[in-house]
Chains A and B, each alone.
Chain A
Amino acid sequence: DSGVTQTPKHLITATGQRVTLRCSPRSGDLSVYWYQQSLDQGLQFLIQYYNGEERAKGNILERFSAQQFPDLHSELNLSSLELGDSALYFCASSVHYNSPLHFGNGTRLTVT
């Protein structure tokens, strides 16, 4: 068990809808990273927060947004969903930017 908790494990929704994925980092970890894993794109970095502030942005669509709350949990919001957004979404956390990343078990999103 990595100590990183992601909910829900599975999510099935329709095109055009909006969903929120939640991540609780390991105790003491200040950094949270979001990754998208799809068959055609592999593991893509989306966004990173450190102690509540956005620190790095990757290939994140404008329809997607995220935030990290004072208790350090993070949420990834996906809106106007398209079929191509179907993927496994991972959250990872680390104590510091140079510390190893610990991954959660992911949220499997299916858009129908």
Chain B
Amino acid sequence: AQTVTQSQPEMSVQEAETVTLSCTYDTSESDYYLFWYKQPPSRQMILVIRQEAYKQQNATENRFSVNFQKAAKSFSLKISDSQLGDAAMYFCAYRRSNAGGTSYGKLTFGQGTILTVHP
């Protein structure tokens, strides 16, 4: 079974600074997707960024970028120029790319990292 591990229960950053959130995963699959979701106090789950495992290029979305190390099964999220609105719980998630079996598109989440942004 696939597992996702976020080893940092809490992180903090100063406004305008850069912070990196860590995520490792375990899978025997060669093709899959990785995601970072943000859950602010409003509790809505918001997709931040997505990475396809077959792509070597790291995904970027404005101030958010990832460092995807497939061999190491590592998928970290870098937030540049941190803003107060970035304060939230961040979840790393894994998804098989192929349907079938008991997977069929479900996401497996890590335990989350609470990010605090200090003004």
**Interface residues, chain A, CB within 8 Å of chain B?**
2, 31, 33, 42-43, 45, 48, 50, 55-58, 88, 90, 92, 94, 96-98, 100-103, 105-106
Contact = CB atoms under 8 A, between A and B. Distances in A.
Interface of B: 33, 35, 37, 42-47, 50, 91, 97, 99, 102-112
Contacts of A42: 109-112
A105 B43 CA distance: 7
B58 to A, nearest CB: 18
A56 B112 contact: no
B68 to A, nearest CB: 17
A86 B7 CA distance: 26
Contact of B99 (A33, A97, A100, A102): A97
B99 A43 contact: no
A43 B109 contact: yes
Contacts of A43: 91, 109, 112
